[in-house]
Structure 1
Amino acid sequence: MSSIVLTNPIIWADIPDIDMIRVGDVFYMVSTSMHSMPGCPIMRSINLKDWEIVNYVFDTFEDNEAHNLANGKGIYGKGSWASSLRYHNGTFYVCFSSNDMQQFYIYRTEDIENGSWERSVINGLLHDPALLFDEDRVFVFSGNGNIYITELTADAAAIKPDGIRQLLLEGERDGIGLRIEGCHAYKLNGYYYLFFIDWPRTGHGRRRELCYRSKELLGPYEYKVILDDDLGYRNKGVAQGGIIDTPSGEWYAFLFQDHDAVGRIPCVLPMAWEDGWPVIGDGAKAPVSFAANLPESVSKPLVISDEFDYEENKLALNWQWNHNPDNSLWSLTARPGYLRLETGRIVDRVVLARNTLTQRTEGPACCGTTVLDLSHMKAGDHAGLVALQSEYGIVGIQAEDNGELYVVMGINRGDGGMETLEKLKYNGSRIHVKIDFDFRDSMDRAYFYYSADGTEWLSIGRPLQMKYTLDHFMGYRIGLFNYATRQSGGYVDFDYFRYTKTV
């Protein structure tokens, strides 16, 4: 087997709360998806470096006003959090809690790459769950600061009526801002290992990774800080995750790092064992790059260009909707070679617009462009491209009552509504729009452009200072949108989406 070089971040994009397993020679990863649908992406790799989206756990998991962006409600920053992925006796399991639903979800499939998932729902939250199969018993570790253990039935479908359900341990309080959470649980070589993050106020004052261990399931547990490092980036700690072994017996830690507006990005670090404790990096120092005894692989893009040349209404897995889509109001087949977005419910801002179709943004810089056919817009319609987060920015077209069209650039004015920064009359039935994202040197700025021909680009408005905010709790996405402010039934056809990434 040839040696490869792993460089952190392994993916410079928002893939937070990662959990990994290995089945044979293949690694699988799941992550938090919150308000993006389909959700809980399943990614595949043979070398921990090159990852491909191969499936989602669910298309949608609830059908209500908030999940459907109805009546001013939404699930920004909520939805599915901190999924745990495990494989046991031929079945794959994913579990997570949903803060908005106050419920715990468990999904099962025998085919992680192509199969559908059966779900069970348990009332109540199990915060940041870690699923552990221990011979013929099943446990979930969960909580923040105070960590609980809950025993499930053998099929992991319900809480075991006479099983263990109790406080397991309490994290340190003195000098700690965020107490232990984000559990990942393993049973290895006679020990139970629980991995957590915490965030002390003292010392470096950044997120760090801890490991608790015990030879008994119910403790007592001892712990060590096993990583307190920021990879040279703004004192942003690399933490929250677990461990994975390779077919050749090497061990790695998988964690993530807050990277401002682009989101929370995954990292992989070399790990060894000393006296039964995991030791990450070189003297607890995280390396940016290192050699790994893993095979070469073909790298497939996380974010793609798309000509919308489909034979059925089934998008590439790289796309996700902002909240649940209304499948009656979008089409890839109504006009072959185009994505059609038809307006439905009347709204007054892009963050309430249903059927906004998104992909992630990537560092260090990236750019997305599209072209819109405007022939069937109605008065009050607004369509274009959005840099989507709470502090959003848009470039697109507004249709007025008299049939005139205006190209506009706008931002969140502070209450979710849009402040128009520039508005120019536009003549023509097609328009090209573009957003450039720059995450280099902590700039975190987006730039907005339009063009009549796709060749001569004109800047509009001003650069957006992108900010990662906890109300959305997600890195910036680029999205195609069309919404109505006065009457429904208009539509816009997007000819393509083209994407480039700075390497």
Structure 2
Amino acid sequence: MSWTRHPVNRRAVLATGTGLLAGSVLPTATAEQASAAQPAAHSPALAATYANPVLWQDFADIDVIRVGDTYYCSASTMHYSPGAPILRSYDLVNWEFAGHSVPVLDFGAKYDLQGARGYVRGIWASSLAYRPSDRKFYWVGQIDFAKSYLYTASSVEGPWSRLTTIGTAYYDAGMLVDTDDTLYVAYGNTAIHVAQLSADGRTQVRSQQVFSTPSSIGTLEGSRFYKINGSYYIFLTRPANGQYILKSTSGPFGPYTLRQVLLDLPGPVAGGGIPHQGGLVQTPNGAWYYMAFVDAYPGGRIPVLAPVTWTSDGWPVVQLVDGAWGSSYPSPAVPAPPRPVEPMTGVENFTGTSLAPRWEWNHNPDNSKWSVGNGLTLSTATVTSDLYWARNTLTHRIPGPTSTATVLLEYTGMRNGDRAGLAVLRDSSACIGLLRDSSGTRVVMVDGLTMDANWNTTGTGTVRASTGVSGSRIWLRVNADITPGANRTARFSYSTNGADFIPFGPAFTLNNAWQFFMGYRYALFNFTTGALGGSVRITRFEVTAP
């Protein structure tokens, strides 16, 4: 960042009768799947009810499946790496990070921040499936509207490997593993197609348009593909306020009948949008649930869950509360979980041999410039004045509706020109951090880090508060309110002893426009305007939320 100085004080509807929606589902678990599930024992009792959202974090374009007694959820990540996170749950309500389907975005130099940038590209709406015949998980998605990629793994934790590249771009893919083990993918925008893959999944053997969206509806996309009781269903989203279903009783290539299941349905998040574009899943005892997301910027798109019933003629119906998606429902009746899930907040000391799956880089990192084990060491990887060009910026989703991130940063390894710290990162960003130059080290609060609608940098930052510091370490803190509406602020502070925090700089208003798609993230960064060679070490990162 150029971080221009600025004079400041130094202390400074679902239409009720027309149906529902459903998401990704393995019907009743097979004996093979059930035997692979972990035994259910020594678990705390589930609460009688659950509240929406079930996750107040940015997980969009949800696909959700069940394998045995365990549920898995996949989501979009755009330019973040690794991509396509996988969450795990034993009750559809409490979720933990498990892994990523796409280990690295090796789709061109722009995903390495080498001469180009991949902002708002990369991992769009994609699909997660499980194939009982080979006991493998499958992920499929298109990149840059040019090609599709299919990855597989025997465990969601990985390792994931690329099985194939297919020349057709499966836009907003939804994969179905049919009861005869055939692999199908539903995809498209307005013109909806179904592709059949070869038995090994490596090639496309057939693709056919199965539906053309009427102009009276507009756009339909976001395919999710299911076979339920012998019928084929393709769930489609009309962004960002409607959900429709195609149903075929004649096979995966149709013909299909269209039904509206949700339109302008009031959602459960005050100030948030309409629930849409998610997945349908069935519990072991036969109950059905739909997990969708609601637009809740500046935090992103957050998952909500509702039970589903079926009409006598085979259409799903979301269960409403007073004509709206409920703010709470009875908890799913599921087997006792084998263990509590890992919390998504808390303390990270970076003592392991790899990063936990809650972490994602802004584009692919330069792996020679970071390490973990004895804390997280970030060596400068880019000479730039622009945070959006800086490699090795490590991000963490911001939990809502409010949360606080605190980082302990050791800075004796910084060199002149280095910029390191903690940001709230999106297309309009701000940060608190350290600036090292020939006069020493200063702690600064910076805003005015901006991009335009084509994701080109329009502002590299203005210093709003600055003061000198000495010593070897500093605590940096951000309090973020991502509640949709008027508040949506980030406030910065720092401490030299870890106990007394000094408010620093003005409050920053978080951008709540949807066009960047991803929500704000906490981001750890270290880059330089001088020469490479400097480093910082982060020995503690803590996120707390009410």
Q: TM-score, normalised by structure 1?
A: 0.91
Q: 2:344 aligns with which of 302, 306, 309?
A: 302
Q: CA deviation at 1:3?
A: 6.8
Counterparts of 1:87-486 in structure 2, within 5 Å, are 87-88=130-131, 89=133, 90-99=135-144, 102-134=146-178, 135-160=180-205, 163=206, 165-174=207-216, 176=218, 179-199=219-239, 207-216=241-250, 217-228=252-263, 229-232=265-268, 233-234=270-271, 236-274=273-311, 275-282=313-320, 285-291=324-330, 292-295=332-335, 297=337, 298-310=340-352, 312=353, 314-333=354-373, 336=374, 338-413=375-450, 415-440=458-483, 442=485, 443-469=487-513, 472-486=516-530
Q: Which runs of 5+ in 2 are unaligned?
A: 1-44, 452-457
Q: Which segment drifts farther, 77-86 or 410-419?
A: 410-419
Listed one character per residue, the Cα deviations across residues 191-239 of structure 1 (whole Å, up to 9, x for unaligned) are 111111114xxxxxx5121111121233332222222323253361100
The change in CA–CA distance for 1:400 and 1:214 in structure 2 (over 3 A counts) is same
The change in CA–CA distance for 1:105 and 1:441 in structure 2 (over 3 A counts) is closer
Listed one character per residue, the Cα deviations across residues 18-75 of structure 1 (whole Å, up to 9, x for unaligned) are 111111111111111222222212221110011121222232030642111123x221
Task: State whether residues 389 and 468 of structure 1, in contact with CA within 8 Å, keep that contact through their aligned partners in structure 2.
Answer: no
Task: State whether residues 434 and 441 of structure 2, in contact with CA within 8 Å, keep that contact through their aligned partners in structure 1.
Answer: no
**For 2:315 and 2:385, how far apart are their aligned partners in 1?**
55
The change in CA–CA distance for 1:13 and 1:2 in structure 2 (over 3 A counts) is closer
Q: CA deviation at 1:356?
A: 1.1
Q: CA deviation at 1:263?
A: 0.7
**For 1:394 and 1:302, how far apart are their aligned partners in 2?**
23
**For 1:304 and 1:370, how far apart are their aligned partners in 2?**
12
**For 2:495 and 2:100, how far apart are their aligned partners in 1?**
36
Task: State whether residues 207 and 237 of structure 1, in contact with CA within 8 Å, keep that contact through their aligned partners in structure 2.
Answer: yes
**For 1:95 and 1:43, how far apart are their aligned partners in 2?**
17
The change in CA–CA distance for 1:191 and 1:441 in structure 2 (over 3 A counts) is closer
The change in CA–CA distance for 1:416 and 1:123 in structure 2 (over 3 A counts) is farther
The change in CA–CA distance for 1:423 and 1:267 in structure 2 (over 3 A counts) is same
Q: 2:121 aligns with which of 78, 89, 114?
A: 78
**For 2:65 and 2:217, how far apart are their aligned partners in 1?**
34
Kindly provide the amino acid, as one letter, of the partner of residue 227 in structure 1. L
The change in CA–CA distance for 1:111 and 1:441 in structure 2 (over 3 A counts) is closer
The change in CA–CA distance for 1:99 and 1:303 in structure 2 (over 3 A counts) is farther
Task: State whether residues 127 and 142 of structure 1, in contact with CA within 8 Å, keep that contact through their aligned partners in structure 2.
Answer: yes
Q: CA deviation at 1:428?
A: 3.2
**For 1:124 and 1:219, how far apart are their aligned partners in 2?**
20
Q: Which runs of 5+ in 1 are unaligned?
A: 200-205
> Comparing both chains, which one has the higher relative contact order based on Cα–Cα distances under 8 Å and sequence gaps of 6 or more?
2
**For 2:511 and 2:47, how far apart are their aligned partners in 1?**
38
Listed one character per residue, the Cα deviations across residues 158-215 of structure 1 (whole Å, up to 9, x for unaligned) are 111xx2x222111132263xx111010111122111111114xxxxxx5121111121
Q: Which segment drifts farther, 250-259 or 441-450?
A: 441-450
Off by >6 Å, runs of 4+ in structure 1: none
Q: Please state which structure has a larger fraction of its residues in strand.
A: 1
Q: TM-score, normalised by structure 2?
A: 0.84
Task: State whether residues 343 and 490 of structure 1, in contact with CA within 8 Å, keep that contact through their aligned partners in structure 2.
Answer: yes
**For 1:86 and 1:405, how far apart are their aligned partners in 2?**
50
The change in CA–CA distance for 1:326 and 1:244 in structure 2 (over 3 A counts) is same
Kindly provide the amino acid, as one letter, of the partner of residue 79 in structure 1. G
**For 1:238 and 1:440, how far apart are their aligned partners in 2?**
17
Task: State whether residues 446 and 461 of structure 2, in contact with CA within 8 Å, keep that contact through their aligned partners in structure 1.
Answer: no
Q: CA deviation at 1:5?
A: 1.9
The change in CA–CA distance for 1:462 and 1:294 in structure 2 (over 3 A counts) is same
**For 1:212 and 1:433, how far apart are their aligned partners in 2?**
51
Q: When the two structures are aligned, how many residues end up with a matched partner?
A: 484
Q: CA deviation at 1:115?
A: 4.0
Listed one character per residue, the Cα deviations across residues 426-485 of structure 1 (whole Å, up to 9, x for unaligned) are 333322110001123622111111122222222222111112455642111101110011
**For 1:194 and 1:287, how far apart are their aligned partners in 2?**
24
Kindly provide the amino acid, as one letter, of the partner of residue 478 in structure 2. I
**For 1:6 and 1:373, how far apart are their aligned partners in 2?**
41
Q: Which segment drifts farther, 151-160 or 217-226?
A: 217-226
Q: What is the DSSP-based 3-state SS (H/G/I as helix, E as strand, rest coil) of the residue aligned with 2:368?
A: helix
Q: CA deviation at 1:371?
A: 2.0
**For 1:453 and 1:285, how far apart are their aligned partners in 2?**
49
Q: CA deviation at 1:406?
A: 4.3
